Amino acid sequence: MELLDILNENGIKTGETATRDDCHKKGLWHRAVIIAVVNDYNQVLMQQRAKNKDKYPNLWDISVAGHVPAGEDSLSSASTEIMEEIGFMLPRSVRVEDFRFMFSFRSQLAINKDFIENQIYDFFIYRANIDESNIKIQKNEVQAVKFLTAFEIKEMQEQGMLHPRSEWVDVLYKFVNRL
């Protein structure tokens, strides 16, 4: 049972916790992280959600996304999610500076009357050269991964092929194209 810190609408912890399911059933604010893994060619690792997912099946999404467990900070959660979602073990030499915090944003998505996502996202960029063949995806979560340019991601957004939580796309596009 995953517990999450409950936040107010400004992202401040209230001191209460709730299960992930209760957060979504009651529309409680909580924190999540999204991480764009960017390689030396400025390509972004993207994942295609599994076709059996209950929300947004088959849509493409950022490299890694996940909830921040109660008592944990976003950066720690980001490194954990990379291992859990794509099976990439961070090197022992990884430093806080290797994760570039980009910005936080609020997202409110009502999937149905019993599933309301009120989340504050912290967006990070992690630069790494990962061989796609070494990625170990969770088949029940992800059906495919591939590296794409920021331009290709913008095109996918315009074609409605991305998860609707895509506030990060323009920031990533500007970041990658300034290098």
How many structural domains comprise the chain? 1
Q: Which residues of the chain have pLDDT under 70?
A: 179
The amino acid at residue 166 is S
| Domain membership of residue 26 as a residue range | 3-178
CB atoms within 10 A of CB 12: 11
The amino acid at residue 5 is D
pTM: 0.92
The pLDDT value recorded for residue 179 is 53
Q: What is the CATH number of the domain that holds 141?
A: 3.90.79.10
